[in-house]
Chains A and B, each alone.
Chain A
Amino acid sequence: MSSTVLSLSNVSKRYGDFTAVNRINLSIPKGSVYGFLGPNGAGKTTTIRMILDIIRPDEGEIEVLGCKSAMQVRDRIGYLPEEKGLYKKMKVWAIISYFATLKGIHRKDAKLRAFELLEQYGLKDFANSTVESLSKGMGQKVQVLSSIAHNPELVILDEPFSGLDPVNQEVLEQLIRDLKNNGQTVIFSTHIMQHAERLCERLLLITQGSKVFDGTVDEARAIIPRRVILECQNDVMALADLEGVLSVSETFVGGEGRIPGTRQWELYVKEHTNPQLILQHCFQNGISLSRFDFTQTSLHDVFVHLVGQEAREHNFR
């Protein structure tokens, strides 16, 4: 049965003249893995804080697990904040167990659960170490575990992958898949599109506080036309007349080692266009290609396409 675990309607948050979040609408079905994407300062963390009722929205309604405030269902939510921190002097198992007890788990069960999780995710040997003796990445894993120790229905992870090495990123991806397989709903924000691509069923893309996209990964990919890159000595403007080709333009790339006279062309094609047609046309017209590049549109391209300009402007402001 698919029901909604979280819904936001027309949620806004302002700090003085600055609008951090602007009229966001959102609905997240139970059991899904949902990605929050957006450039730095887009309003992801503010949105997450409002969902958790750490800060209150100026406008709009939020409903979490059927309640008006996350505080009412706080024992059913797990949260990993963007900026990670733990009590330095506490032992690893104790800190996981402490956060679980705060979420209503009995002390004995919390301790058992802490050891179980540490074993499951390869940290058993560190159970009795103090947090200050751990590396940054290790500490982050501990914090992730402490946010899920009470088996929450809704897990919100703010930038869970930042600071982790590739191996640990894989461990964390597995953890998110495990949560999903358990029927738990996961929301995570990230900058790294590959993670979102691999894990998410649905995405929210926000920039400057406003939603620019909300949908499945395939829907996101469909936003920008597919692209074919050609390199040859000829002019291929005529390809524009081919069925399914949206546009043809020449891109100028320099660089040493290129054969003199080589020109690069960028073709945008409709989503279901067969690239073989283009290849065939070139062959028939005696166009000798030195490069034919047809790639799947990546989420990265979508991200850059949708927020690239604004993000760049934001960063240099």
Chain B
Amino acid sequence: MRVTLLIAWREYLENVKTKGFWIGVLLVPIVFFMIFHISTRLATATPTRYYLLIDQTGQYADSVETAIRREHQRRVMQDFMRYLQENRSDTANLAISNEPANQMDQLLDDFGNDEVAALDDWLSNGGLAFALQMARPYLRPDTPDFEEPRQQFIAAVPPPELDITAPAETIVETLRPFLKGEKRLQVGDNNVSLFALILIPAEVNNDIVRPMAAMGGLPADSGTRGVQYWAGNLTDTRLSNAIQTSINNAIRQQEYIDRNIDVNAVRDVQRTRLPVSRMDPGKVAGDEQVSVADTFRQWAPMGFVYLIFISLMQSVQYLLSNTIEEKSNRIIEVLLASVTPGELMMGKLLGIGATGITTILAWLASFFAFIQLYQTIETTMIVQILDVLLGSDLIPYFVFYYLCCYTLYAGIFLAIGSLCNTLKEAQSLMMPLMMVMMVPILTMSFIAQDPNGTMARVMSWIPLFTPFTMMNRAAAQPPMIDVVGTTVLLVVTTITVLWLSGRVFRQGILRTGQPPRIIELWRMLRRRST
């Protein structure tokens, strides 16, 4: 045992003392937080786009401009709501609060339930100025000023040489160099590039598609009909979507009027809603309503499955490379004169297992450090979710399945490492096992959605998949037979695999030359020693 611990300690130090280990460990949270940060800040980071709207009909320009203004106000409102949540003086439970307590909560509640209605109220009440005034008493004294987001889309003035009454083709030809970035537009004192041209031809109303007419099918040249949206950037569809929605709204408004339908009545009907409360039959009576935390608890096992998988992948690399290093450097022979192959194998297993646990703890530590240093509404919510998780019964499941999964796979990978002299040789032997390991990851979301379904139950009984699948099912109260049965099977399999791997390890570790063929491997499993 003393020798096993010495080997484990050396393995552990060899891994965690390298810069590469810590770079690898810290890279995961850094990449995670970068993605997090970028995705939350992406909206404000998008550059302002200049567009040119040429409406030869004169009917739609106002609608489009109103829609773009409205879109901007929606973003102002969204940012304001976030500002409100981050800076209000009573911060308790705001992320999963369900009951409005005051005017501000009412605003937040409306915003959460029906954004369109909330925006209408926002605009009719006077927008940002009113909201700021209303919210002020509820904000903390040290709250910074609200920063209004930049406008994303600004209308440009057509260049003087453009005749906006000319046929569509001529207009497009004149503006093509601007759209291709060869020429720039003058907006105020700035030279800007033209992002998009929206051209509404004079005879566009002939192209309106109505259900009855559409049944005859669209003409073959439908691509150039209707409103023309010209832009070199095909990925940013926000402007084209806004235009499509606003023009179609304008047309529909006109249709209501033409058909003598009350527009306000239609709007009221569209905003009528019945809330759906999600209830959990497993919870105590009176407290059955499903909260955000409950939903998260159902999905959390998937996170744990990922964590097991990623940590296992890292450990596999160490198990293989450290064993192969000792083999190819012939250190193994000196070691075997001092320790038994079994002690060596167990030492490696423990040392690299400790490395894996260190990695997970380092990830958690950096995660907690991050949410302490970087407090936003999202991270506050993560803190609450973590509280839920750490207080739940999922942690013991995770610890158990992590350890079993690691031991089971480590046994197999150590045996593979002992048979190979180079990592290249190991890769071909690893391939089938890697495919096996991918199965629980590929099926993970199906199992999370139907945790007690046939697929989940069958996979739970296959020991190589048991840790992943049962972890995934942990929050869904699987039947007792599944929990006990698969646990017994998993433990028995793990012990058997370790025992057999020990045999292969003992014989493989002194082998030179090519990795063995299947038949030789079979002999190794049956033979006691060399």
Residues of A bordering B, CB below 8 Å: 49, 52, 54-56, 70-71, 74, 77, 79-81, 83-90, 98-99, 101-103, 143, 146-147
- Residues from chain B with a CB closer than 8 A to the CB of A70 are 337
User: Least Cβ distance of B101 to chain A in Å?
Assistant: 61
- Residues from chain A with a CB closer than 8 A to the CB of B6 are 98, 101-102
- Residues from chain A with a CB closer than 8 A to the CB of B530 are 55-56
Q: Write 24 A-B pairs (CB below 8 A) sorted by A numbering.
A: A49-B333, A49-B510, A52-B336, A54-B510, A56-B529, A56-B530, A74-B337, A79-B333, A79-B337, A81-B333, A81-B334, A83-B330, A85-B330, A85-B331, A86-B331, A88-B325, A88-B329, A89-B18, A90-B14, A98-B6, A99-B334, A103-B338, A143-B334, A146-B334
Q: How far is the CA of A37 from the CA of B340 in the complex (A)?
A: 28
- Determine the interface band of chain B, counting residues with CB < 8 A from chain A: 20 to 34
Report if B88 contacts A (CB, 8 A).
no
Q: How far is the CA of A77 from the CA of B339 in the complex (A)?
A: 12
- Residues from chain A with a CB closer than 8 A to the CB of B326 are 85
Residues of B bordering A, CB below 8 Å: 3, 6-7, 10, 14, 18, 325-326, 328-331, 333-340, 510, 529-530
Q: How far is the CA of A99 from the CA of B339 in the complex (A)?
A: 10
- Residues from chain A with a CB closer than 8 A to the CB of B325 are 87-88
User: Least Cβ distance of B428 to chain A in Å?
Assistant: 24
User: Least Cβ distance of B367 to chain A in Å?
Assistant: 29
Known: A83-B330, A83-B333. 5 other contacts (CB 8 A): A49-B333, A52-B337, A54-B337, A143-B334, A146-B334
Q: How far is the CA of A1 from the CA of B369 in the complex (A)?
A: 68
User: Least Cβ distance of A144 to chain B in Å?
Assistant: 11
User: Least Cβ distance of B171 to chain A in Å?
Assistant: 69
Q: How far is the CA of A71 from the CA of B14 in the complex (A)?
A: 26
Q: Which residue of B lies closest to A56 (CB)?
A: B529
Q: Which residue of B lies closest to A13 (CB)?
A: B530
List the 4 shortest-distance A-B pairs measured between CB atoms, nearest first: A85-B329, A83-B330, A79-B337, A81-B333
Q: Which residue of B lies closest to A103 (CB)?
A: B338
B14 touches A55 (CB 8 A): no
Q: How far is the CA of A85 from the CA of B329 in the complex (A)?
A: 5
Q: Which residue of A lies closest to B341 (CB)?
A: A54
- Residues from chain B with a CB closer than 8 A to the CB of A74 are 337-339
Listed residue (A54, A88, A89) with the most chain B CB atoms within 10 angstroms of its CB: A54
Listed residue (B326, B328, B336) with the most chain A CB atoms within 10 angstroms of its CB: B336
Contact partner of A102 among B18, B333, B339, CB < 8 A?
A: B339
User: Least Cβ distance of A79 to chain B in Å?
Assistant: 4
Q: How far is the CA of A147 from the CA of B334 in the complex (A)?
A: 8
Would A84 and B510 be within 8 Å (CB), given that A55-B530, A74-B337, A102-B339 are in contact?
A: no
- Residues from chain B with a CB closer than 8 A to the CB of A52 are 336-337
- Residues from chain B with a CB closer than 8 A to the CB of A54 are 333, 336-337, 510
Listed residue (B3, B333, B529) with the most chain A CB atoms within 10 angstroms of its CB: B333
Q: How far is the CA of A239 from the CA of B338 in the complex (A)?
A: 60
